[in-house]
Amino acid sequence: MNSISYIQKKRGNINNVVIVYPFTYINPYYALPPIAAEYLQAGIIETGRRAVLLDMRYETDIKEHLKTADIVCLYGFFEDCSIFGKWHIHVIPEILAMIPNNVPVVAGGTGFKEYEKIFETYSNIDVIIRGNPEIPIMELLNSGSPETVKNLVYRKGDKVMYTERVIHDLSENIYPKRQLRNPKYKYHVAGIKADLVRAAVGCNYRCKFCFEYGKDFDGKFMKWQGRSAESLYNEIKEIEAPIVGWVDDDMTTDMKTLEGLSELLIKNKIHKLYGGTGRVDHVLKSSVETLKKMEKAGFFALSFGIESLKAETLRFYGKGQTPESIEKAMRMMNKTNIVLICNFILGSPGEKEEDIMDMLWFGRRWNVDSLVTNRFRIQKDSSLYSLVYDTKTGEVRPGMERIEGEKLNRIKYRIKFGQRTPFRIILILLKLYRHEGMFLDPLYLFCSVLETVTKHTWLERTKLFPLFLRGIKRFLLFSIVRRFFRFTASVITPFIKGINWVFEFFDRRLGISTTILPKLFLYLDKTVYKKQRVQAQVKEAIGSK
């Protein structure tokens, strides 16, 4: 029986839906919930049906669940950035092989974008959802047929059929049901319970280098649309995790909403820590008072795409900002205690080594807490490709030459690791102690990071080191200790800043941090972190049996 007619025949009797997040890669340092799949689950629950979500990072045998399913959904997206280059680490064929022949299969998200190829490869996938899943799955279950449901691709005999493509308005009241999560799924950042929210979708900018963000699941750009402050507050107050990340491509588009949300969080004494990614030009449309209100509400980290410090490169990318506007926004951010993260693209056309190294000196001058370095990448079918390469010969166009390969790697490591000097780490810790919304002790967070990065190492096997860290964490739970450290941080910060200024003055000329620290971290990456990543996969696989 064709599974589409099976859906129609079973209309009104579909009660048990099984959703599978099919990706299996485990990041040893953090694991974030699959909220795209959870939005699918929320849509199903809205129709009055039962929906179980199985996260294959923590499951090994799901046969019994699949046997009792009326419909099976395979769904997942880039909630966890660690799978950006690892989405292929999945168990999609194995799951499909276990599903009974008369059970319809709905798929979507990462790995299901090449629709006709997917139908050809997997004969028992019947429907693919395009775009956000909650509205299409509700309409599909209620109608029993894909033909009248927008944003679907489905199989009809030997043909692949496409329904109308639309952008649905974001719902104010449909969002993930955290209480339905399996308790054994440990979603965390450095061992501390973490969660995600989707406050908005889309992006109103068209930067030439961008081929992932601001787009729908099918690669088409979406105009930005967001939820209200009240809707976000209602969701956040249901979240247990103390750390919450924004998955929005541009969380700062509507600073008024963030200000309104901050007021609600402060008024109702909701204590959590929030972080996300935005644009610095949105900061300029706001005020320092709004930023300070966000700090008090718990926004502890904001990440901005700076990309380049050269005006001509920013124009080339169509970024819509200038070096002057960037510095003005940095000046505003420096008046708060929000952790400041800046993203740069390395190896842009026409940039020399000294231009790229300026990113490190920029970070130091503006007290940037973390510099994220991304290599310049071009998709062959993009407009950027035709600007850099001659499409007929494939040769680089004159003036578009750039630093690549091993030379770029060496510069990247100098920036990436050269920023992490002992004094800068201490200054970040002191900044967090001064943060108005920091309800967790920063040293407690630091100890949790140490616990995470020393897993599967000889330090963990000593038993003494983990015991020592646990002892410090318990000590830091006393409020009087936190108050003392906060007071101390305010007193000693100017002194530490002075020492750091002297160190960085000589360091820029002598190159201490840009030679020693990269070697140290690269050694750790080869001898410790690589082993951790491998062992994490094995340990989680064994532990979930």
What is the structure's pLDDT at 12? 45
Of the candidates 326, 405, 410, 407, which has an alpha carbon nearest to the alpha carbon of residue 368? 326
Cα 460 to Cα 466: distance, rounded to the nearest angstrom: 6
Unique residue bearing structure tokens 């920023």: 419
Unique residue bearing structure tokens 């949790």: 448
What is the structure's pLDDT at 537? 74
Domain ranges for the chain, please list them.
3-162, 187-377
Q: Are 349 and 401 in contact (CB under 8 A)?
A: yes
The first and second tokens of residue 344, run together, are: 């740069």
What is the structure's pLDDT at 391? 83
What is the structure's pLDDT at 10? 45
Cα 30 to Cα 196: distance, rounded to the nearest angstrom: 13
Was domain 187-377 assigned CATH 3.20.20.70? no
What is the structure's pLDDT at 387? 86
B/e letters for 52-61, b = 16+ CB within 10 Å, e = fewer, are: bbbbbbbbee
Residue type for position 82: S
What CATH class does 3-162 carry? alpha beta
- What is the residue-level pLDDT of the chain in tens, covering all 545 positions? 455 555 655 444 788 999 999 988 888 888 899 999 999 999 999 999 999 999 999 998 999 999 999 999 999 875 555 555 677 788 999 999 999 988 999 999 888 888 999 999 999 999 999 988 999 999 999 888 899 999 999 998 889 999 999 989 999 999 999 999 999 999 999 999 999 999 998 888 888 877 655 555 556 677 899 999 999 999 999 999 999 999 998 999 999 999 999 999 999 999 999 999 999 999 999 999 999 999 999 999 999 999 999 999 999 888 889 999 999 999 999 999 999 999 999 999 989 999 999 999 999 999 999 999 988 888 777 778 888 888 888 888 998 889 999 999 999 999 999 999 999 999 999 999 999 999 999 999 999 999 988 887 888 889 899 999 999 999 998 889 888 999 999 999 999 999 999 999 999 999 999 999 988 888 887 787 777 777 777 655 555 55
What is the structure's pLDDT at 7? 60
pTM of the model: 0.90
What is the structure's pLDDT at 204? 86
CB atoms within 10 A of CB 178: 16
